[in-house]
Amino acid sequence: MLTTNPFEDDKLREECGIFGVSGAEGAAALVALGLHALQHRGQEAAGITSWDGAHFHSHRAMGHVAGNFDREEVMGALRGQVACGHVRYSTTGETALRNVQPLYAELATGGFAVAHNGNISNAMFLRDDLVARGAIFQSTSDTEVILHLVATSSYRDPLDKFIDALRRVEGAWSLIVMTPQGMIACRDPLGIRPLVMGRLDDAYIFASETVALDVVGADYVRSIEPGELVIVENGKLRSLRPFGETRPRPCIFEWVYFSRPDSIAGDQSVYSVRKAIGAQLAIESPIDADLVIPVPDSGVPAAIGYAQQSGIPFELGIIRSHYVGRTFIQPGDQIRRLGVKLKHNANRALIEGKSIILVDDSIVRGTTSLKIVEMMREAGAREVHMRIASPPTTNSCFYGVDTPEREKLLASRFNVEGMTDFIHADSLAFVSIDGLYKALGEAGRNDMTPRYCDACFTGDYPTRLTDHDAIDQLALHEAAE
């Protein structure tokens, strides 16, 4: 099988999206709609769990929400006024049904379902300890660690058990949890992964992005604060902050690429921030050219900002077909090479003989950028300049983003000159880290108190990386031997 989008095989991918409803008839149907809006955050699998006041009901499946949760027999079985769901792109654990969330278990305190966006950076350490004490894991997902920690907590109250479990995990976690007592939505103390709250009549809605609230007709209320637990019981809402005060570090890549442009993140329009990044890029890295062309679709807002700031015309030099499926059978190498043009093709009449500026959100391995530049040259472009609406991605992410090992990141292997040669561009430039912060309304990046998690650009990880450090130590020990 062949992915027909040549520009999606070299992107950083968010692990998942989560959506929960408490207090609405047909809650599972609303969850399915919300997950449709979050499909971009995870396309490998989807799941929904509901609670009807007496029993939990679950359906999990590989693939997209459409085709799995648009069947009457499936949705009819997901009864109740409370439900949560999950779309998955795996960063830990194999691609298998047993890892599809929400994960569910029968605990001493009753049923417990959890949907998780993020990555627990000490999951291996905790898992080894739990297994040594007799725990039996049913998945390879880091999320299952939370279930076992809750089950083995010495506290008696279910909420205290949950808080006790969260105190032991490191990394990034936005969670929606369902128990017979109610629904809990929470974020890790640094707020690395997003989670928002909305209202739909008398129901409370929780989602990874505001666009999912829009789709179900809910009003956006606010973001769940870093370190906050929002609890809905019997239609009443209360908030707890059991982890003390911390300086938030939300993932800066939500504004660069992950979130849909029609979402609000941190009370800012994602679309407007991306335009501002493009404008800042034009200020920092101007070039004389005929056209500004976005790499579809994620490069569009930044390209508009670049064009408006520079005064160079914005044009669609790469045309995307929206009527092609994700895959098709590949009968041979020649057809495979031609297949990429089914979904994206150069607008030759526009490009031929022109000096162009291509604007994209990031460069990861560099293979995609090379394909794009080659496509433009084959279409007759006189010069191809690349401008990137984020700083060079030099470090891997350990907080729920599928990132190649550091040695496979182009920016960790080459300086900008070397990267320019690799992608065969006439020039290449990235927005600076200070410029990225300015586009978000900050004065710049203060190295002592950064406002965001920008570790993929700076290597400044805001939490301990217990599992990663242990692997590094093991590798050093084996090399020494």
Grouping H, G, I as helix, E, B as strand and the rest as coil, residue 32 is helix
CA distance 11 to 9: 6
Quickly count: other Cβ atoms within 10 Å of residue 68's Cβ.
19
Do the beta carbons of residue 46 and residue 61 sit within 8 Å?
Answer: yes
Phi, psi (rounded to 5 degrees) for 23? 100, 30
Cβ atoms of residues 358 and 293 within 8 Å: yes
Q: Which of 396, 474, 449 is nearest to 119 (CA)?
A: 396
Is 16 noted as a catalytic residue in this protein?
Answer: yes
Backbone φ and ψ for 292, nearest 5 degrees, come out as -110, 125
Who's near 323: CB < 8 A, 6+ residues apart?
none
Range 338-342 contact pairs with CB under 8 angstroms and sequence separation of 24 or more: 339/2, 339/4, 340/4, 340/5, 340/6, 340/371, 342/4
Q: Any residues with CB less than 8 A from the CB of 334 and at least 6 apart, and which?
A: none
* Catalytic residue (one of 16, 84, 186, 397): 16
CB 287 within 8 A of CB 385: yes
**Rounded to a whole number, what is the distance in angstroms from the first to the last CA of the chain?**
42
| DSSP annotation of 379 | T
* Active-site residue set: 16
